[in-house]
Structure 1
Amino acid sequence: MKITRSLIDKLIALSNGESLPACRLTGEWVNELVRDGILVSSSRGSKRSLKAVDRESFVKALARIDERFADLKKTRNLLMDDGSSGGALRASQAADSGNSKLKMRRSFPGFLVNSYEAIDAQLNGRSCVILPEEGSCVFVSDWERFVIPSDVIVVGIENPENFRFIRQQRYLFESCLPGKQLLFVSRYPQSCDLRNWLMGIGNPYVHFGDYDLAGIRIFITEFHRYLPDRSSYLIPSDVEERLRNGSTERFQGNYYENRHLSSDIPELQALIDLIMKYHKGYDQEGYISF
Structure 2
Amino acid sequence: MDINKKRFTISVARKLLHMLEGGTVPSSSLPHWIVDELRLEGLLTGITSGSRVSYRLTDEVAFSRYIADNYTSGNSLERWIDVLLNENNDLQRSTLVQYTGDSKTVKLRTFRGFLVNCYEPIAAKIEQEEFLISPIEGIAVFVQKPEVFYIPSDVVVVGVENGENFSRIRCQKHLFGDRKILFVSRYPQSTDLREWLMKIPNKYIHFGDFDLAGIFIYQSEFYKYLGERASFLIPEDIDARLRTGNDVLYNTQYLRYKNMKIADARLDKLVEMIHHYRRVYEQEGYVVAK
TM-score by length of 2: 0.72
In the alignment, which residue of structure 2 is the partner of 1:260? 259
Offset of residue 239 of structure 1: 0.7
The alignment status of 1:10 with 2:7, answered yes or no, reads yes
The alignment status of 1:212 with 2:211, answered yes or no, reads yes
- Say whether the 8 Å CA contact 1:157–1:185 is kept in structure 2: yes
Structure 2 counterpart of 1:281, one-letter code? V
In the alignment, which residue of structure 2 is the partner of 1:145? 148
Offset of residue 11 of structure 1: 2.4
Evaluate the alpha carbon distance shift between residue 67 and residue 185 of structure 1 in structure 2; reply closer, same or farther with a 3 A threshold: farther
Offset of residue 166 of structure 1: 0.7
Evaluate the alpha carbon distance shift between residue 260 and residue 38 of structure 1 in structure 2; reply closer, same or farther with a 3 A threshold: farther
Structure 1 counterpart of 2:201, one-letter code? G
State how far apart, in whole Å, the 2-side matches of 1:158 and 1:198 are: 16
State how far apart, in whole Å, the 1-side matches of 2:275 and 2:252 are: 13
Counterparts of residues 24-63 of structure 1 (less than 5 Å): 62-63=67-68
Structure 2 counterpart of 1:122, one-letter code? K
Offset of residue 64 of structure 1: 4.7
Residues 117-143 of structure 1 deviation map (CA, whole Å, 9 limit, x = unaligned)? 111100131111111101111111121
State how far apart, in whole Å, the 2-side matches of 1:113 and 1:129 are: 12
The alignment status of 1:281 with 2:286, answered yes or no, reads no
State how far apart, in whole Å, the 2-side matches of 1:233 and 1:276 are: 18
In the alignment, which residue of structure 1 is the partner of 2:227? 228
Residues 3-60 of structure 1 deviation map (CA, whole Å, 9 limit, x = unaligned)? xxx859832187277798x9xx9xxx99856856999xxxxxxxxxxxxx85979x86
Structure 1 counterpart of 2:156, one-letter code? I
SS in 1 for 2:153: coil
Counterparts of residues 193-204 of structure 1 (less than 5 Å): 193-204=192-203
Offset of residue 95 of structure 1: 6.5
State how far apart, in whole Å, the 2-side matches of 1:259 and 1:113 are: 33
SS in 2 for 1:242: helix
In the alignment, which residue of structure 1 is the partner of 2:89? none
In the alignment, which residue of structure 1 is the partner of 2:136? 133
State how far apart, in whole Å, the 2-side matches of 1:284 and 1:263 are: 20
State how far apart, in whole Å, the 1-side matches of 2:6 and 2:129 are: 46
- Say whether the 8 Å CA contact 2:118–2:133 is kept in structure 1: yes
Gaps of 5+ in 2: 16-27, 45-53, 87-91
CA RMSD of superposed structures (Å) = 3.8
In the alignment, which residue of structure 2 is the partner of 1:117? 120
The alignment status of 1:250 with 2:255, answered yes or no, reads no
State how far apart, in whole Å, the 2-side matches of 1:287 and 1:34 are: 18
What is the aligned-residue identity percentage? 40
SS in 2 for 1:249: helix
State how far apart, in whole Å, the 2-side matches of 1:55 and 1:152 are: 35
Offset of residue 108 of structure 1: 2.8
Gaps of 5+ in 1: 1-5, 40-52, 79-88
- Say whether the 8 Å CA contact 1:64–1:188 is kept in structure 2: no
Evaluate the alpha carbon distance shift between residue 233 and residue 55 of structure 1 in structure 2; reply closer, same or farther with a 3 A threshold: closer
Residues 150-170 of structure 1 deviation map (CA, whole Å, 9 limit, x = unaligned)? 111100011110111111111
